[in-house]
């Protein structure tokens, strides 16, 4: 059974994907997501926070991911880019969610929505970002 929070992440990934392909404005895409059946099964407050957060921080999140990529962010598949943005936002803005949970959730999204080995790529990139964004948490776990 998929958790309500994962459904929120799925919706945001779908919304980011839709924005990348259609160029539609964020409010219109959000309205489409809210009208979808998946929204009723999502953690709606978390969806709202995540959607707003990735929208506001999108460029900063891409910049934070860029040093950990093997290509330019613009060359990523729209699905990988969307999943990495969600994971990066959670790593940088939601310290209450353990970094291993953030990475695992992103990997699971990549397994569902991404290409054949997309989950490995997502795992590697977010693991490197976590080393920067969550250095204190990682060091505490290693003690």
Give the model's pLDDT for residue 19.
95
Q: Return the closest-CA partner of residue 30 out of 42, 16, 41, 46.
A: 16
Q: Residue 12 and residue 64: Cα distance in Å, rounded? A: 19
Give, rounded to a whole angstrom, the gap between the first and last alpha carbons of the chain. Answer: 34
Give the model's pLDDT for residue 143.
81
Give the model's pLDDT for residue 141.
85
Let me know the angle formed at the C-alpha of 120 by 64 and 49, rounded to the nearest 5 degrees: 45
Task: Give, for all 143 residues of the chain, the pLDDT tens digit.
Answer: 779 999 999 999 999 999 999 999 999 999 999 999 999 999 999 999 999 999 999 999 999 999 999 999 999 999 999 999 999 999 999 999 999 999 999 999 999 998 888 999 999 999 999 999 999 999 888 88
Largest CA distance in the chain: 47
Fold of 4-142: N-utilizing Substance Protein B Homolog; Chain A (1.10.940)
Q: Where are the domains of the chain?
A: 4-142
């Amino acid at each position: 059974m998929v958790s309500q929070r994962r459904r929120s992440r799925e919706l945001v990934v779908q919304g980011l994907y839709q924005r990348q392909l259609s160029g539609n404005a964020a409010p219109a895409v959000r309205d489409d997501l809210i009208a979808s059946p998946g929204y009723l099964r999502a953690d709606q407050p978390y969806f709202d926070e995540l959607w707003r957060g990735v929208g506001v921080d999108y460029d900063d999140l891409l910049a934070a991911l860029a040093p950990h990529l093997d290509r330019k962010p613009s060359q990523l598949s729209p699905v990988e880019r969307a999943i990495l943005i969600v994971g990066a936002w959670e790593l940088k803005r939601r310290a209450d969610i353990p970094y291993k949970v953030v990475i695992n959730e992103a990997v699971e999204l990549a397994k569902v929505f991404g290409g054949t080995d997309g989950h490995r790529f997502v795992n590697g990139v977010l693991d490197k970002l976590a080393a920067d964004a969550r250095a204190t948490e990682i060091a505490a776990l290693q003690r």
